[in-house]
Amino acid sequence: MKNRSKKQKPYALTALLSALSCAIMLATYFFDTASLSVAAISAVSVIIILAEYGNVFALSSYFIISIISLILCPIKSAPIAFAVFFGLYPIIKRFEETRKKLWHVILKCAAFAIAVSAYALSAMLFFPEEFTEQPIYYYVFVPLCAVAFILYDKCLTLLMRAYAVKLRPKIAQYL
């Protein structure tokens, strides 16, 4: 019986953290202006699952959160940001850090370019008036995204280290 419960722990933690992230995504209903922050905070569950159980469970959590939040959230900016970038980037980051320095930089630049392009295309699809009424949006969007990407990457690295060094030893007996 004890062996069976060890096999069920990854599934239970994945389901629990995915549900928590979906509930956090629903916070955009009350705080519409914090959609990118909510998407970044929701990615913490993917980081925890990635550290504890690996890529398969982290990818399944990413897909669960993306699909359910896209279905349930009335304001789609946070779920789109999570699905396009914030939820997938921790998994990509873990993969790219195992590569050589050149591939590390190439994969980061590719992830940034894909995320900005996908987010801009989805914004043009869902909010076309933003692009036609404000042409300065073109010149401000990409540089601000680059700065935000660099900050998010640094914060993600620090968060992963803090989880591994400080938090994980304290909660390892429960996971």
Domains and CATH numbers, the chain: 2-174 (1.10.1760)
pLDDT score for 3:
64
- Tell me: pLDDT of 62 over 90: yes
| 91-141 pLDDT tens trace | 888 877 776 777 777 777 787 777 777 777 777 777 676 666 666 666 777
| 63-98 pLDDT tens trace | 999 999 999 888 888 888 888 888 888 888 887 777
**Separation of alpha carbons 78 and 76, rounded Å:** 6
**Alpha-helical regions (H) of 26-76:** 35-53, 55-72
Which residue in the block uniquely carries the two structure tokens 């990509």?
A: 92
**Separation of alpha carbons 58 and 56, rounded Å:** 5
